[in-house]
Amino acid sequence: MMTRLRGRWQTRWSRWLQQRSPPAHDITLDQRRVFVFLSPAGGMYLLLLLALFIGGINYANNLLLGLCFWLGSLLVVAIIHTFRNLSGLGLRALGSDPGQAGQQVGLRVGLRSVSGRDYHAVILRWQQAEQRIAYLGREQQVLTVHLPALRRGYMHPPRLLLQTHWPLGLIRAWSWIDLDMTVLVWPRPMQAEIPVHRLVGLTGAARAVRGDDELDHLDAYRPGDAMAHIAWKHYARSSSLLVKRQINWQGIEHIIDFRDYRGLDREAVLSRMAYAVLNAQGTWAMQLPGEAMLSGEGESHRLACLLALAAFEAEHHYR
């Protein structure tokens, strides 16, 4: 019962927060996005004011009442200054660094003073990751926050919490910000024997030539095309004759192919392919179902293949 009520409350809170502070790549904090309330120290301070007020009324002591009203005005001033220590602060999503499932990914956030004021003692918290800014002046400050990536796919980080207790610690001002960032997370490598797809022969730069190793595209039928090359399944569906145009890949030492990992589910295959990609040497290629073959060498090619594994039939977003 309590779990159900908590779930309903969180759903309503998320919906209300989504309307009040919608996702954006560039956000400036204002009165709609900044919330203000007493801190634990402020709650004790308020109890002290109440005790002074009761004592002053009970004993008709003007000195106690004067002290109570003076301290109360100090609390009001603290509310204004604590709010201003977040209001007018600008945040901008500056990009992210893709990473591996089970490890951490980096998110870059730029903070700047839109209002022209200086800011002090601002805390940024993303899940368990925390960054503290002692002072922020007129120049933009770039922070990199590292978050754990739970699984493969498009990771949408949760809302960022900004808060401050400056200057007196009696008031807490905070804001929940969604910078609408997305990070690609590739599969966690799983060590396994790498199947040898085929050796095409020559080493060096990859080059595609007409052949029968890989399906390149479907083309319209022309008189003289071999009957064995007709896409009969496509003909059964659409009654249009198309011919399979196939190629050989010369210069590729080996191919990491999804089809070579049989008897495994999709995620297990992608994890084994990620291991093969991370350990591939020389000039090599990677083939995923329904996608163009990626061929090349070097770290840029390796990263392109890892990102292709991350995006393959992945969820659009997860938090």
Residue 59 in any domain: the answer is yes
Q: Do 142 and 228 fall into the same domain?
A: no
Residue 1 CB neighbours (<10 A):
5
The confidence score (pLDDT) of residue 316 equals 58
Q: Do 176 and 61 fall into the same domain?
A: yes
The model carries a pTM of: 0.73
Q: What residues have CB less than 8 Å from 88, skipping those under 6 apart?
A: 28, 29, 30, 113, 114, 115, 116, 117
Residue 136 in any domain: the answer is yes
In the chain, how many domains are there? 3
Q: Do 303 and 160 fall into the same domain?
A: no
3-state helix, strand, coil in the chain (%, to 5): 30, 35, 35
Q: Do 214 and 176 fall into the same domain?
A: no
Tell me which of 13 and 114 has the higher pLDDT: 114
Q: Do 85 and 166 fall into the same domain?
A: yes
Q: Do 310 and 233 fall into the same domain?
A: no
Give percent above pLDDT 90 in the chain.
38
Give percent above pLDDT 70 in the chain.
80
Tokens read off for 161: 């919490």
Q: Do 176 and 191 fall into the same domain?
A: no
Mean pLDDT, the chain, whole residue set: 82
The confidence score (pLDDT) of residue 208 equals 42
Residue 10 in any domain: the answer is no
Residue 154 in any domain: the answer is yes
Question: Which amino acid type is present at position 104?
Answer: Q
Q: Residue 203: which pLDDT band, with cuts at 50, 70 and 90?
A: very low
Task: Say yes or no to pLDDT of 216 above 50.
Answer: no
ω into residue 167 within 30 of 0, thus cis? yes
Q: Do 88 and 213 fall into the same domain?
A: no
For 169-190, letters b (16+ CB in 10 Å) and e give bbbbbbbbbbbebebbbbbbbe
Q: Residue 250: which pLDDT band, with cuts at 50, 70 and 90?
A: low
The confidence score (pLDDT) of residue 170 equals 94
End residue of a domain, out of 139, 155, 186: 186
What residue numbers bound the domain in which 224 lies? 207-250
- Classify residue 309 as exposed, middle or buried by CB count within 10 Å of its CB (0-12, 13-18, 19+): buried
Residue 168 in any domain: the answer is yes
Residue 299 in any domain: the answer is yes
Residue 14 in any domain: the answer is no
Q: CA gyration radius for the chain?
A: 30
DSSP string, 158-173: -PEEEEE-TTTSSEEE
Round to whole Å and give the CA distance between 246 and 229: 9
Tens of pLDDT, residues 129-184: 888 999 998 888 999 888 888 889 888 888 999 999 999 999 999 999 999 888 88
Q: Do 264 and 239 fall into the same domain?
A: no
Q: Do 193 and 173 fall into the same domain?
A: no
CATH number for the domain including 162?
2.60.40.10
Residue 307 in any domain: the answer is yes
> By three-state DSSP, how is residue 23 classified?
coil
Q: Do 211 and 294 fall into the same domain?
A: no
Tens of pLDDT, residues 39-98: 999 999 999 999 999 999 998 889 999 999 999 999 999 999 999 999 999 999 998 888
* DSSP classification of residue 292: P
Q: Do 221 and 191 fall into the same domain?
A: no
